[in-house]
Structure 1
């Protein structure tokens, strides 16, 4: 009995093990015999893009710059005399015509000087007339004095004969000789006066020229008492008022010539050589200024003769194609320059460019990356944005030996664009 109980206790753990093993077999059989769900095919995602068909063409690069309006005839008129201000009939901002009165100065002091200069000339005219009369008188007197000299010489000869015969006293002879000598001196003095006449006349004429110069200077000062517009223009500032005492050189009025307006814009270095070559070849470069929602046609005049000290750039100067414009001095405007046309190129929207020089061509529904050469931009037309503001739609001018007519290029910016990416074109 005890032996049976010992044996039972020794092999009591077999039963649980057997039960667990059977359960594991059953579970394994259920898992293996479980029906498998049908596999779903994984479909590659297609990205929806817009595209453009390329066509080789001729395109004109355009550059948009910031320009400032200026005038080479931006003048500040100053006083040429010291005087009191009598009238100032103009105000800032008004348009004036050439010759219009801007400032009237008191001319009374100048008129007194003018009268004095005229009196000096009248006096010299009288002296010149007197010298000419004196010359004529000297010529007439010389004839008579020569005759008197002959008479004195004849009298001396008679006295000499009488003296030789001891028929006359020595005193009579000396008196006759003295009379002849005095008459000879008179003739010589008259000849000297006649010979010196041209010198005296030249001296008087030189004084008259000097007096005429002073008179002309006084007349100019009298004219300067009226400050008039030197050209058709617009007054930018008036610096004096009636009653002020102004000094020579003091600024009075500033104005600029509306018919000689220019726009100055700094040209990027990459376009500088192209513009310089075009000017040397006589190619007419056009531009457009955008002012007050209107476009003003411009023409390139020249390049600046020096580089800017601040940034080293070179300025280009443009003038309006017509005198009918609304340009205002010192106003900043957007400027669009039409560069010389390029051939055998393609144009794309800006959205087609990835980075600075990469596009994606669509081949058999997949993207292919291509590096291209960007030659410039083309600013085609004005469009209105959501804020009702007009903006320029840009197109990029490109060139690549790997592109040809009929190629399709995506114009959609994809964040994960890569060669081989599958895409679908929008209809």
Structure 2
């Protein structure tokens, strides 16, 4: 379109629009003048200074890096146990006369614990002693009979020989017809009868070893019954098998007990140990140290006494991934109760070139932040464990080849810590605050924070 066309359209539009009245033209002029005046005032008004945007500085604490050979520590939870935990039972039936101890008492080896009724056991012992005396008497009588039978056998052999010789002489006389045949036959019959009696006596003597063995067995059997009765009488008094502590008493005076009835239980205080589950991630390190002959020690809560890791359990419990470690208690530390839960701090072998940092210095369990020129820089590290501080807090131990001695590491937990974030250590912030305070007191200008 050209300019003429626009003019033609303008004239046509003016023909259609009504012309404003004189009063309206005056009002439009007043409104236009007011608008121009307002625009002029706004355009010539003084402008406020633009706000100065300053980057936020985060006050933080920092620690200096120092590498050393440090020992990580494992926090474990175990229970006190004893491999010598005896449940004493009754070896016979009877009534409980008295119980001389209570649960929790400490006892010494050989100390009387429970007394049972002795009457039935005493009667049984008397009968057993009578049976033994009877068997010993029978054995002695048999020995006397054997000696007599041997003497009788010797006489019978001598008599048989004499009669046999007489019969031989009579045979010769009878052949010369010097004696009657009847007399010779009578002598031969006598030789036969004596031979029979001699054979019987010889058989009786040959059975002497069997008869002696049978009688001796009867004596031994009676003696064993007597000894058993003595033991049953002794078992009516129950004594402590070792130095220990009573863990339970299950009978009271007047109770009737049978053979095998539980009486009480006690454990050896000198054999106490603590069983604690060791994490599977640290088993290889612990096994290598034990195989190399290294001593691994643990410390219980509020105790400076060292507990030695003696050995590892030979079996893993159902549903458990770790292996139990068995810690022996010091000889003079027997005050722990059986079954008591104990928190342990196991000291592992030292790790070379390790760095101890506050627990809040480690982010995502793999990263720390260095402070360089008041800026943060993330650095990947290798966590190797934790250890306790003197004040009871925890430190994390890490390894990082890029760290140099004296480097500053962030020791504050920042929710949005990232590389490049501007920070200032608390010591520097406090120093600047003190400088500003002193400047205000003296009227001298100080630096801006």
- For normalisation by structure 2, the TM-score amounts to 0.84
User: Is residue 74 of structure 1 aligned with residue 78 of structure 2?
Assistant: no
Deviations along 1:151-210, one digit per CA (max 9) or x if unpaired, are 312332343344334554443232211111122223333333333322322232233333
Partner residue, 1:401: 401
Does structure 1 retain, via aligned residues, the 8 Å contact 2:280–2:321?
no
Q: 1:286 to 1:14 in 2, by over 3 A?
A: same
1:207 is aligned, of 182, 201, 218, to 218
Separation in structure 2 between the aligned mates of residue 9 and residue 359 of structure 1, nearest angstrom: 79
Secondary structure of 2:66 counterpart: coil
Equivalent residue runs for 1:154-173 within 5 Å: 154-166=165-177, 168-173=179-184
1:336 is aligned, of 345, 363, 373, to 345
Say which is worse superposed, 223-232 or 321-330, in terms of deviation: 321-330
Q: 1:299 to 1:225 in 2, by over 3 A?
A: same
Deviations along 1:336-356, one digit per CA (max 9) or x if unpaired, are 111111111101111212232
Secondary structure of 2:103 counterpart: coil
Does structure 2 retain, via aligned residues, the 8 Å contact 1:348–1:397?
yes
Matched residue pairs, number? 409
Deviation at 1:320, TM superposition (A): 1.0
| RMSD between superposed Cα atoms in Å | 2.4
Equivalent residue runs for 1:209-228 within 5 Å: 209-228=220-239
Separation in structure 1 between the aligned mates of residue 46 and residue 295 of structure 2, nearest angstrom: 83
Partner residue, 2:422: 422
Equivalent residue runs for 1:65-214 within 5 Å: 65-166=76-177, 168-214=179-225
Separation in structure 2 between the aligned mates of residue 141 and residue 308 of structure 1, nearest angstrom: 78
Equivalent residue runs for 1:1-40 within 5 Å: 20-40=31-51
Q: 1:186 to 1:402 in 2, by over 3 A?
A: same
Does structure 2 retain, via aligned residues, the 8 Å contact 1:68–1:265?
yes
Separation in structure 2 between the aligned mates of residue 417 and residue 105 of structure 1, nearest angstrom: 76
Separation in structure 2 between the aligned mates of residue 310 and residue 49 of structure 1, nearest angstrom: 45
Q: 1:411 to 1:9 in 2, by over 3 A?
A: closer
Deviation at 1:26, TM superposition (A): 4.2
Does structure 2 retain, via aligned residues, the 8 Å contact 1:131–1:197?
no
Equivalent residue runs for 1:364-375 within 5 Å: 364-375=373-384
Q: 1:9 to 1:182 in 2, by over 3 A?
A: closer
Identify the structure with the greater helix proportion: 2
Deviation at 1:52, TM superposition (A): 0.4
Secondary structure of 1:231 counterpart: coil
Does structure 2 retain, via aligned residues, the 8 Å contact 1:71–1:261?
yes
Partner residue, 2:72: 61
Consecutive unaligned residues of structure 1, counting only runs of 5 or more, are 1-7, 383-391
2:273 is aligned, of 262, 277, 284, to 262
Say which is worse superposed, 361-370 or 348-357, in terms of deviation: 348-357
Deviation at 1:85, TM superposition (A): 1.6
